[in-house]
Structure 1
Amino acid sequence: MYRRLKLAILDYDMTLLDTLIDFYDALNRTLQLFGLDPISYDRFIYLFKNDRLGFEIVPRHIDPKEFWKTFRKIYESRYAKPMEGVEYLLNILKLYGAKNIIVTGREVPSLKIWNELRRFNLHHYIDKVYTMFDLILLGGIERELFDKSWLLINVLKEFGVEPEEAIMLGDYWIDALSSRNAGIPFIGITRYEERARDLYINGAIMVVKDLYEAARAISEIVK
């Protein structure tokens, strides 16, 4: 139980926004940039659910780090829509007095995320945005691809918040692991059982299927 929830750290893609089609689009554009053939949507969904994209689509002669860094630079919200319940969740967090901080795996200037948030009229719920581009600017450490541990610890220090006074929400196992490394309780969000398993393995205290369920879970934790 929290003394008070002061900080809500939120992943962006597939947490606040449904960007699954954008993920698929950015993936195929990255494949083409590396001279590879695009994959079908059905194969993409299978590999995405089972976290096999990194193992089965990047050939051995291509550096996976360069591939995924290229991907996260061109990943953008072309076809995105807000997740159902996103305004409800963000409003609940504000009512608890929490600062809402986005920490995304995209490697773009934070201004680009702010522009997207304004497009979806979500900007007034958010207090700050960090991206992997900020990690580079701040001289942070990324121990493995998409590791956010350093950024999360930096956010805690910037806002003067203890890990137990914060919570993180996200959809990917590296988010859960990063949150665990920073000592922050983590709630996973996914519609896929396969990904839920990986979230629990990497430290999630619970996994929910949507943002309404996430809001209820947070209410139980902080009351």
Structure 2
Amino acid sequence: MAFKALILDFDQTLVDSIRDFYAAYNLCLVKYGKPPIEWHIFLQDYRNDRLARFLPDRLQRNFWKDFLHIIGRIFDNCRLLPGSREALLFARGCSFLIAVTTGRYSPSTLFHYWLSLLGIKRLIDAAVTRAEVPTSEGKLPIFVKAAQKLGVDPQECVIVGDYLDDMQAASQLRAVAVGVLTGYMDSKALKSAGAQWVLDGIYQLPLVLSRYSPKR
């Protein structure tokens, strides 16, 4: 099969924004009457996918929805991860269409603004935020929306992300699922979630893209 497009997650895949996630999480805890947690506890629970433990089940759905709205407007500590720009340039050179996605409830204009500030907006063809598919959950509908914007079938895409949901969604869509370890998940967990490739970081992505390039 010919692969035509590259769909990338934003946070912890293209950019290091974990400090923004920490700030948003604590703001949300306070909103729900809970005390903020220390950085090392947050990072440990983020890595082990246990951040839900501070709230009762009945509050989980609303808490995480509010969290995505809060993080949707916090970009204070976003920094490109090493090799992000180079990976995008390589993908363009291979004739991949490129979309960047985020689960944040960010207004599209704000997300495009930050992509411009980071110097990568000109390198992509489309961007999708949770705000464009507000009634859905998980990353799958976001990836589907990105493929639609690019005018391709999800099966014709290489999807790159750092989190379990990214890999599960990519696998369900029968895309090539590429996990990166910059999101603090371990390699075994990403593979169990459906990753066909696991990279130390986005800087290694050209090694994978060269195998799926439309120019092959």
Q: CA deviation at 1:219?
A: 1.6
Q: In the TM superposition, what whole-angstrom CA distance separates every residue of 1:28-56 from its partner, at most 9, and x where no partner exists?
A: 111111111000111111111111112x2
Question: 1:20 maps to which residue?
Answer: 18
| Candidates 125, 128, 153, aligned match of 2:126 | 128
Give the AA of the match of 2:55.
Answer: V
**Secondary structure of the corresponding residue to residue 13 of structure 1:** coil
After superposition, residues 75-114 of structure 1 pair within 5 angstroms as 75=71, 76-114=74-112
User: Which runs of 5 or more structure 1 residues have no equivalent in the other structure?
Assistant: none
Equivalent residue number for residue 59 of structure 2: 63
Give the distance between the partners of 2:182 and 2:7, measured in 1 at CA.
20
Tell me, in whole angstroms, the C-alpha distance in 2 between the residues paired with 1:21 and 1:65: 23
Residue 124 of structure 1 aligns to a residue in which SS?
A: helix
Identity %: 26
Change (3 A) 1:50 1:102: same
CA distance in 1, matches of 2:127, 2:146: 10
CA distances 1:8-41 after superposition (whole Å, capped 9, x unpaired): 1110110111001111111111111111100011
**Structure 2 CA distance for partners of 1:59 and 1:13, relative to 1, 3 Å:** same
CA contact (8 A) 1:189 1:214 kept: no
In the alignment, the residues of structure 1 paired with residue 124 and residue 109 of structure 2 have an alpha-carbon distance, to the nearest angstrom, of 13
Contact 2:126 2:150 in 1 (8 A): no
Q: Which amino acid aligns with 2:54?
A: I
Contact in 2 for aligned 1:21/1:79 (Cα 8 Å): yes
2:197 matched to 1:200? no
Alignment of 1:157-196 (within 5 A): 157-191=148-182, 194-196=185-187
* 1:220 aligns with one of 195, 211, 214: 211
Equivalent residue number for residue 73 of structure 1: 69
RMSD of aligned residue pairs (Cα, Å): 1.8
Match in the other structure for 1:44: 42
1:8 and 1:167 in contact (8 A); partners too: yes
TM-score by length of 2: 0.90
Contact 1:173 1:195 in 2 (8 A): no
Distance apart, 1:193 and its partner CA: 7.1
The CA deviation string for residues 173-196 of structure 1, in whole angstroms up to 9 with x for no partner, is 001111112121110011477532
Paired with 1:193 and 1:128, the residues of 2 have a C-alpha distance of: 26
